Amino acid sequence: MQDRDALLRLLREFFNLPPHVRPQEITQKTIAEWDSLAMVQLIADLQGTFLIDFDLDEIGKLRSYEEIRATLLKKGASLIITASDSVRS
């Protein structure tokens, strides 16, 4: 199922992570490149990809794959890559 996880794909591409990196390993503490500038760019990518907006309280909690995933799901975002999404990627 990980190969159909749109968030996992986005984070791996954004941070240039190898494909074997597991979701629980993707945190701000474990990725040196995840600094404040990367955070601003990541928020823009997430909002553009999933067509949602984050408020300031939510942004303060987006520090790992799990936290981002939970927030996106709470907002009703679909995290599954469909066949039509794969064609566009």
* CATH label of the domain that carries residue 6: 1.10.1200.10
Q: Within a 10 A sphere around the Cβ of 18, how many other Cβ atoms?
A: 6
Residue 5 pairs with which residues in a beta bridge? 80
**Domain membership of residue 41 as a residue range:** 2-88
**Exposure b/e, 21-48, CB count within 10 A at least 16 = b:** bebeebebeebeebeeeeeeebbeebee
pLDDT at 5: 93
- Look at residue 80 and give its three-state secondary structure: strand
Encode the chain (89 residues) as per-residue pLDDT tens digits.
Answer: 456 899 999 999 999 999 999 999 999 999 999 999 999 999 999 999 999 999 999 999 999 999 999 999 999 998 987 655 543 44
pTM: 0.87
Domain count, the chain: 1
pLDDT at 24: 95
